[in-house]
Amino acid sequence: MKILLIGSGGREHAMAMKLKSGPDPVELYAAPGSDALAGLGTCLPFAVEDVSGIAAWCALNRPGLVVVGPEVPLVAGLADAVRGEGVPVFGHDAATARLEGSKAFAKDFMVRHGIPCAASMTFTALEPAEAAIRAWSLGLPIVLKADGLAAGKGVVLAGSREEALATVRAFMAGQFGEASRKVVLEAPLVGMELSLHVLVDVDADHAAYAVLPPCQDHKRIFDGDQGPNTGGMGAFGPIPFLSPADLERLRRDLVEPTVAGLRKDGLRARGVLFLGVMWTARGPELLEYNVRFGDPETQVLMELLDEDLASLLLEVAEGRLRRDSVKLRPGCAIAVVLAAGGYPEGAEKDVPIALGAPEGVKVVHAGTRKTQEGWVTSGGRVLNLVTTAADLEAARAKVEGAVADVHWPGMQRRRDIGLRALNHAAAGRTVADPFL
Ligand code: AMP
Ligand code: GLY
């Protein structure tokens, strides 16, 4: 089958490897792709948001499936345009992608459908927002969210009213352009954070979904969850202290009402929903929707899935998903991000990477470029080391054993991916208990 994959990062490289590993041959195209993806297929010079260019290519070249990695093209209507050409797309319509593209829209959806989430207010003018902050009584930090897409930088946890006031002023003055002229203020949620991915196929006449194993990401740059936020420094799954009853609770409290809500609102869904969840003292609550796979959660999920990815995504793309589960491999998977010097504020680019042949791990390329001399850094998150083992402890050990084979000046990585979860499980603590 001819497949066009939209994107260029680690998520897409991991998906491409999985797509190519199935029983049927895959002729892979990637837009815009990367030098690593060029090793698996043909890269097309389209920016991810070039809706008309990509749709025209699809009309002419008739791929059997288009898989959209990032959220930006979905919000821009790429899936609608390509579907309009009669080509199956794994990726949501623009109307559905607003669940990620507008925080205010997502909060309205959650409230309308009784999905547990933090109390919030939406503002489009500065004065009432400032007044709400001065009168704030929902606890600290005050959570401020730019309504639109802001490349993962649109959420600020303000530790004081002063900081919240400064943030809301910057947002509304256009820090993220139009995306931050509408602002959501939200009460803080305290608890255990997790990433829940669900394949969803919802249309006027059916609503099907399959829940993937919950993962945990590590957002801060330094060990012990210290330092600034990043796109994610490492992930693992499944979560060892999550019980079958906990999974059932996630399904009942968050997934079911989401899928029912999509159908009630006439929102067609043909892709993945990634629910950012906080397990609070009251139970699981929804932090946010993403309409795409997480990165680096995808790298973990691709290892855990015991399915032909192309067939599975095509089932969703063609509106034929009629099962509620996917086949999984036993054990645990982990992805450790190797990041460039200077990340997350910037990224030292064009630094040559000493890349050996680390044993027992997959090397996923997230931000690299190939030169005549070899691979060099070209983004913040550069490589991921990904592996599976019988359990989390063994998976962590496998990555540790391999990491010495990859290096470059300034390389940053966390050494504690999955460590807190491992200790948590060993101590017999549950998802309702905070990390020690
Ligand atoms: P995002 O950039 O939208 O992925 O959100 C960034 C992070 O902000 C989330 O992963 C949470 O850790 C945190 N966050 C978002 N909303 C809340 C909230 N209401 N309470 C506490 N933390 C939050
Ligand atoms: N790893 C978090 C995200 O993809 O948003």
CATH number at 126 reads 3.30.1490.20
Please check whether residues 83 and 125 belong to one and the same domain.
no
Please check whether residues 21 and 90 belong to one and the same domain.
yes
Please check whether residues 133 and 179 belong to one and the same domain.
yes
pLDDT for the residue numbered 152: 79
pLDDT for the residue numbered 24: 96
Task: Calculate how far, in angstroms, residue 340's C-alpha sits from the geometric centre of ligand 2.
Answer: 18
CATH number at residue 77: 3.40.50.20
Task: Calculate how far, in angstroms, residue 361's C-alpha sits from the geometric centre of ligand 1.
Answer: 31
- Residue 423 domain-assigned (yes or no): no
Task: Calculate how far, in angstroms, residue 128's C-alpha sits from the geometric centre of ligand 2.
Answer: 31
Which amino acid belongs to residue 233?
M
Total of domains in the chain: 2
Check pocket membership of 193 for ligand 1, CB cut-off 6 A: yes
Nearest residue to 11 via CA among 225, 220, 215, 223: 215
pLDDT for the residue numbered 153: 85
Please check whether residues 26 and 67 belong to one and the same domain.
yes
pLDDT for the residue numbered 68: 98
- Tens digit of each residue's pLDDT, the chain (436 residues): 999 999 999 999 999 999 999 999 999 999 999 999 999 999 999 999 999 999 999 999 999 999 999 999 999 999 999 999 999 999 999 999 999 999 999 999 999 999 999 999 999 999 999 999 999 999 999 999 999 999 878 999 999 999 999 999 999 999 998 899 999 999 999 999 999 999 999 999 999 999 999 999 999 999 999 999 999 999 999 999 999 999 999 999 999 999 999 999 999 999 999 999 999 999 999 999 999 999 999 999 999 999 999 999 999 999 999 888 999 999 999 999 999 999 999 999 999 999 998 889 999 999 999 999 999 999 999 999 999 999 999 999 999 999 999 999 999 999 999 999 999 999 999 999 999 8
d(CA 335, CA 216): 11
Protein residue whose Cα sits closest to atom 2 of ligand 2: 294
- Residue 238 domain-assigned (yes or no): no
- Residue 88 domain-assigned (yes or no): yes
Please check whether residues 43 and 130 belong to one and the same domain.
no
- Among 42, 64, 97, the domain-final residue is 97
pLDDT for the residue numbered 429: 97
d(CA 411, CA 404): 12
Please check whether residues 40 and 82 belong to one and the same domain.
yes
Domain that holds residue 182: 119-186
- Residue 148 domain-assigned (yes or no): yes
pTM for this prediction: 0.97
d(CA 35, CA 413): 23
pLDDT for the residue numbered 355: 95
Ligand 2 binding site (Cβ under 6 Å of any ligand atom): 217, 232, 290, 294-295, 297
Please check whether residues 6 and 88 belong to one and the same domain.
yes
- List Cα–Cα distances, 66 to 4, 236, 340, in angstroms: 5, 27, 31
Please check whether residues 40 and 93 belong to one and the same domain.
yes
- 30 bridge partner residues: 5, 43
d(CA 284, CA 26): 39
Please check whether residues 24 and 77 belong to one and the same domain.
yes
Please check whether residues 83 and 34 belong to one and the same domain.
yes
pLDDT for the residue numbered 358: 87
Residue 379 CB neighbours (<10 A): 21
Check pocket membership of 152 for ligand 1, CB cut-off 6 A: yes
Give the helix/strand (H/E) hosting 376: strand 374-377
Check pocket membership of 138 for ligand 1, CB cut-off 6 A: no
Give the helix/strand (H/E) hosting 172: helix 161-172
- 183 bridge partner residues: 123, 146
- List Cα–Cα distances, 148 to 95, 181, 263, 272, 273, in angstroms: 14, 9, 23, 19, 17
- Among 167, 186, 205, the domain-final residue is 186
- Residue 273 domain-assigned (yes or no): no
Helices (H), 269-347: 297-304, 309-317
- Residue 344 domain-assigned (yes or no): no
Please check whether residues 64 and 124 belong to one and the same domain.
no
- 337 bridge partner residues: 384
- Among 142, 162, 186, the domain-final residue is 186
Tokens of 172: 């509304």
- Residue 51 domain-assigned (yes or no): yes
- Residue 398 domain-assigned (yes or no): no
Atom of ligand 1 nearest to the CA of 188: 20
